[in-house]
């Protein structure tokens, strides 16, 4: 019996080697994934410590501003991340940088430039945006709610955000940027932002826009664009034209982004663990195949890959895929 067990023919030996090699390769692959996760987690910890989130002190400003954030210069010099479509509008202040824009890709490079400032405004884009930071510099940002920026620039955000990202060239905002970078204490900078925004707040009378956004973000009653225009007592074409002018996206595009963001929040920020099927039907997606197609259009990833790749830097809505 012992001799019989010791004899291994060529075919058995081939299968043993194949099984062993597969096991070893699988083990190495798992170790590699763990190393990547550890590196990713360490970078996330660094970013979480260096990116600080603040709410406006003023209750009035909180109606328009979701939050401020300050991204410290002492971060790793080369960072890349992917930002995904959002209903908010971001406004970022930089000093001594060069900004290079591509097709849904932006690179911000540290560059001695005599203390000159740059202001970058991000629109409501429909594809993922790749962001690359190269070198050491600070970023101070204001994240506005969907209609939040309009009362402060006294212009239609749609006219200022025709691209996914562009420079904001307004004299009073440039002066604000210069003032912000004369201060080093974060509390002083937040105070300056609060004071500037309160001094420049001009309350619009376009209540129909707020009502339109509420209806477009309502995933339970599922009103169509035509139904919304009728509820607002507006001609459909007039509604679509005015909405695009004020928001920078058509009502249908805004609805797609809002639904996408709501589905993310349901999955990530809900106290209950939701399945993709539950999210599909809770957010007006016709079926799971349609839900997956929409996710791929907006993120270039299927939902499962998307939720595995992202990092939540703040429960207020900063969700990046760090590279």
On the question of pLDDT at 130 being above 90, the answer is yes
**Identical fold at 51-199 and 207-303?**
no
Rounded mean pLDDT, 6-13: 55
Cβ–Cβ < 8 Å for 302, 295:
yes
50 vs 69: CA distance, rounded Å: 10
Helix, strand, coil content of the chain in percent (nearest 5): 50, 20, 30
Containing H/E element for 22? helix 10-50
Which residue from 259, 304, 306, 310 is spatially nearest to 281, judged by alpha carbons?
A: 259
* DSSP codes, 204-238: ---HHHHHHHHHHT-TTT---HHHHHHHTT--HHH
Phi, psi (deg, nearest 5) at residue 136: -105, 120
Q: What are the sequence ranges of the domains in the chain?
A: 51-199, 207-303
Determine which of 64-68, 95-99, 307-311 has the lowest per-residue pLDDT on average.
307-311
Distances (CA, A) of 178 to 17, 53, 64: 67, 21, 23
* Mean pLDDT computed over every residue of the chain: 83
Determine which of 17-21, 120-124, 155-159, 185-189 has the lowest per-residue pLDDT on average.
17-21
Cβ–Cβ < 8 Å for 248, 162:
yes
CATH class in words for 51-199: mainly beta
Q: What is the pTM of this model?
A: 0.82
- Answer with the residue of higher pLDDT: 74 or 38: 74
Q: What angle do CA 234, 238, 239 make, to 5 degrees?
A: 60
CATH 3.50.50.60 fits 207-303, yes or no: no
């Amino acid at each position: 019996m012992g001799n019989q067990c010791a004899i291994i023919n060529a075919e058995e030996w081939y299968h043993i080697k194949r099984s062993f090699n597969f096991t070893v390769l699988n083990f190495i692959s798992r170790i590699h994934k763990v190393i990547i996760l550890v590196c990713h987690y360490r970078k996330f910890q660094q970013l979480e410590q260096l990116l600080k989130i603040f709410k406006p002190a003023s209750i009035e400003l909180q109606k328009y501003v979701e939050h401020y954030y300050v991204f410290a210069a002492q971060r790793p010099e080369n960072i890349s991340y992917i930002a995904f479509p959002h209903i908010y509008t971001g406004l970022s202040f930089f000093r001594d940088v060069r900004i290079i824009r591509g097709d849904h890709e932006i690179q911000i490079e540290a560059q001695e430039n005599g203390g000159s400032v740059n202001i970058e405004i991000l629109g409501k884009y429909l594809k993922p945006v790749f962001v690359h930071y190269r070198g050491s510099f600070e970023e101070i940002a204001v994240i506005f709610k969907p209609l939040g920026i309009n009362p402060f620039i006294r212009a239609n955000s749609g006219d200022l955000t025709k691209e996914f990202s562009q420079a904001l060239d307004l004299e009073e905002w440039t002066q604000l940027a210069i003032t912000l970078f004369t201060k080093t204490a974060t509390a002083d900078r937040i105070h300056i932002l609060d004071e500037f925004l309160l001094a420049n707040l001009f309350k619009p009378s376009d209540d129909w826009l707020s009502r339109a956004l509420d209806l477009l973000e309502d995933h339970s009653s599922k009103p169509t664009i035509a139904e919304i225009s009728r509820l607002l007592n507006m001609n459909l074409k007039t509604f679509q034209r005015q909405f695009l002018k004020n928001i920078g996206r058509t009502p249908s595009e805004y609805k797609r982004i809002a639904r996408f963001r709501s589905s993310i929040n349901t999955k990530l920020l809900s106290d209950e663990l939701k399945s993709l099927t539950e999210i599909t039907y809770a957010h007006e997606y016709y079926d799971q195949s349609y839900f997956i197609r929409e996710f791929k259009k907006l993120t270039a990833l299927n939902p499962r890959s998307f939720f595995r790749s992202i990092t939540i830097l703040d429960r207020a809505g900063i969700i990046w895929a760090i590279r």
